Amino acid sequence: MSNSINIIKAIFVKDIINELRSKQTFASMVVLSIIIAWIFRLASSGVESAMAAAVIMVSVVFSSILCCERSFVVEHDEGCIDGLLSASADRGNIYIGKLLFNVTMLCIFDCVMVPVVCVCFNLTPAGNLLKLIVILLLVNIGVSAVGTLLGSIVMSIKSRSSVLSILIMALIMPMMIPAISGLLMVFSAGADGGMFSAGQSFSEIAGMMAAYDAIFVTVCWLVFGFTVD
């Protein structure tokens, strides 16, 4: 167990240091979120809460595609992937280290993106801040779990961005429905969360997302070794 923790920590720290040196992934994520927020704001027609929820989900999904793609593309382009896979480390530990990096990047991204969205749409989730954090964290884990696995699959494909986008959207769609309902509850000050919630409470929606996350992380962790081979 201690050896596995050390391996996961080493991979996580390595990716963080690489990002601090290059500053490519996070900068692209922030610029993308600002552009998306501005476009949606121009297109909004008075339903600020619904538009804000849509902006947050679109920003998180597209930013996760950038983040998860680069987490393995950097290894592949710099010729480090062979050394990483030939190390005396369980492939599952490599997956967990990459997953933690992607989740961390998305959480930092949320800290920048959510205030921008709130300012653009003149909203404040102050009374539901904890619920907003729970929803965003569950979304980050679920999207990163799928994206990390798929990023390792498409890293050597020329059209990897488009392929990764299609695959991620196909797999995370079941989780996006309760996530949007939860965000509508947060920004609508106690509203029922729209047509997708079917009268469910916030705890039921969060529990459903947590179940999806548990399934995504477990399955992706189990098949990661096979996919990279």
Asked if 85 contacts 39 with a C-beta cutoff of 8 angstroms, the reply is no
List, for residues 133-188, the tens digit of each pLDDT value: 999 999 999 999 998 888 888 777 766 777 777 888 888 888 888 888 888 888 87
User: What is the DSSP secondary structure assignment for residue 189, as one 8-state letter?
Assistant: T
pLDDT at 95 over 80: yes
Looking at this protein, which amino acid is placed at residue 168?
I
Q: What is the pTM of this model?
A: 0.83
CA 29, 35, 40: angle at the middle one, nearest 5?
A: 125
Would you mind telling me the total number of residues written for the chain in this entry? 229
pLDDT of residue 100: 92
Distances (CA, A) of 47 to 43, 54, 56, 220: 10, 11, 15, 37
pLDDT of residue 42: 61
User: What is the DSSP secondary structure assignment for residue 194, as one 8-state letter?
Assistant: S
pLDDT at 191 over 60: no
pLDDT at 194 over 60: no
Structure tokens at 87: 């190390």
Question: Tokens 């189990």 label which residue?
Answer: 222
Structure tokens at 43: 């297109």
pLDDT range class, residue 219, cuts 50, 70, 90? very high
Query: Minimal CA–CA distance to 142: which of 215, 63, 70?
Result: 215
What does pLDDT average to over the chain? 80
Give the total number of structural domains in the chain: 1
**Choice between 134 and 119, residue whose per-residue pLDDT is larger:** 134
- In terms of residue numbers, what domain contains 156? 2-228
List, for residues 50-77, the tens digit of each pLDDT value: 778 888 888 888 888 888 877 777 666 6
